[in-house]
Structure 1
Amino acid sequence: MLLLLLLLALVVGKEAKPLNGNGLRSLHKRFVNSYDEPIDFSCPDHQSIYLIYSIENRYFKDRLWDFYCKPTFDTSHPISPQKGNYVNDFDGEVNFTCPVNSVVTAIGSYHDNWAEDRRWKFTCTMQAGVCMDVCQWTDYLNDFHSLLFWVAPDVHYLTGVHSYHCNVAEDRRWKFQYCSKVSCRTSY
């Protein structure tokens, strides 16, 4: 069932990366990083991350990552991205929430072989007249050394990330915050 959901999620929605003629990515191009290599992923303008997929390799003590984007903002109005700094130290907790009424539109990371961990940073984007409401956190979505797969529920958007690292496993567990999008009044 999980495999079916994964395949369905891969072909639904607008993609930030090219697809092959069958609507699926080639396996060698599926992930945005290689083991021990940096991540520098950004959604196209006016879109945000709605699907996160990751697999871990015990030899490399690192994960491959993939992200998918969906339309989020009105393309006829400007957006305001806010690039962030790294939010954790190696082996430290990631406890990140976008500023009020913004969503995650880009993710960056780099790996250190001594720590066998990554530092993470996020870009959050907002648009005048768009507010986030009814926010909630998932439970932890993976165990150490296991697949991580998350899709934002319909009409919800990624707004926060929490993770902790275990030195014995040299891996992380993850959970995400998501909110619904509503119209709001702007002050001028």
Structure 2
Amino acid sequence: MKGTSWSTRLAWPALALAATLAVVVAAPHAGSGREGRVWMERAPGAGPIATAPAPGWVEIARAVKPAVVNVSTRGARDGRDEDLPGELPGRAPRRSVRGLGSGFVINADGYVVTNYHVVAGASEIRVRFADGREVPGKVVGGDAKTDLALLKVEGTGLPVIPLGDSSRLEVGEPVMAVGNTFGME
């Protein structure tokens, strides 16, 4: 009698188990006409699900796109890696670092909101608009706890996204995030 390997001996039972599971999972739905549908159970006594008219997401994105910017940074920092044991501060050479993020213009005077971690410690900040304009930016304020920073850029005719009032939002309302981290308009 020929010897068989463990993999050969386990392959057939594993195949049989997989086929059985496939039948068990598929059987309740066979011929149910539910193919491609999501199943959802409703709470007893629940009324019809209310659906609000969907906002024009594409139109909203198109309207705010000119004021959404790409923020790129350059800087230098200690070459030490905090994750490696034995690294001592000041012992490793400084290394060049780059950052990328998104932001948006909040008023025509050139104030841009972005993330603090993107601009923290940067020696050079560049802000690129959807129309291709690229201008230097300067940090005028920032808060590491909330990860928010305020930049100032110079320019005329800057597109603006007005700030809304988040206290008027309710849990469950749709919101939209638009960004340009990688400069891919």
TMscore range, shorter length: under 0.3
- Bigger Rg, which one: 2
- The structure with the largest strand share of the pair is 1
TM-score, normalised to structure 1, is: 0.20
Structure with greater helix share of residues: 2
When normalised by structure 2's length, the TM-score is: 0.21
